[in-house]
Chain A
Amino acid sequence: DSGVTQTPKHLITATGQRVTLRCSPRSGDLSVYWYQQSLDQGLQFLIQYYNGEERAKGNILERFSAQQFPDLHSELNLSSLELGDSALYFCASSVGAGFGYTFGSGTRLTVV
């Protein structure tokens, strides 16, 4: 157990649907990062939140959004899902960007 909790572990949904992935960071970590891992794109950074505020955006589609709540847990919302959105979605937390991440176990999303 890394201390970063992601739910659910697996999610199967149909195209056009909307899903929410949840992440609880390691205790004491204020930064949360979302990554998408797919076979063809590798590990792609999506978005970072720090203490409730958006800090950095990567290759995140407009159909995707995220937020971090006062208790520091974060949610990644994926809407109008397409087959190509099937991937592993990882959440990571850290005390700061340069200190190395602690990753969660990921949510495997399958869009059918």
Chain B
Amino acid sequence: AQSVSQHNHHVILSEAASLELGCNYSYGGTVNLFWYVQYPGQHLQLLLKYFSGDPLVKGIKGFEAEFIKSKFSFNLRKPSVQWSDTAEYFCAVGPGIPTFGRGTSLIVHP
């Protein structure tokens, strides 16, 4: 079975700072990778996903993630964060029923 680890539990940034959230997974086969975002009081929304092809995946709201197979990583990045990016971010890994990481809480100060 697959497992996923998000090392950063809490991240605090100022607006315009660059963001990188770590996600590492453990699985020996072909993986499906996802990042979800949960804004305060709202449901989880899919930010981006990787199944195959270009390892650099672009998602909504200016987010991107890079799949590095040799490092078993799928880190989420954004070059310049905004206050509205304050949320909980979850990495998830398949195949099959995705396993979710514990989440990273991002707070962006205006």
Interface size class of A (residues with CB under 8 A): 20 to 34
Which stretch in B20-28, B39-47, B63-71, B74-82 binds the other chain? B39-47
Query: Nearest 10 pairs between A and B by C-beta?
Result: A43-B100, A103-B44, A42-B102, A103-B43, A105-B43, A100-B46, A98-B32, A100-B49, A97-B96, A56-B97
Residue contact A42 to B103, C-beta cutoff 8 Å: yes
Q: Please give the number of chain B residues whose Cβ is less than 8 angstroms from any Cβ of chain A in the complex.
A: 21
Number of residue pairs A-B, CB distance < 8 angstroms: 48
Instruction: Please name all residues of chain B whose beta carbon is closer than 8 Å to the beta carbon of A2 when the two chains form the complex.
Output: 43, 45
A54-70 contact mask (Cβ, 8 Å, vs B): 1 or 0: 00101000000000000
User: Complex Cα distance A31/B50, Å?
Assistant: 20
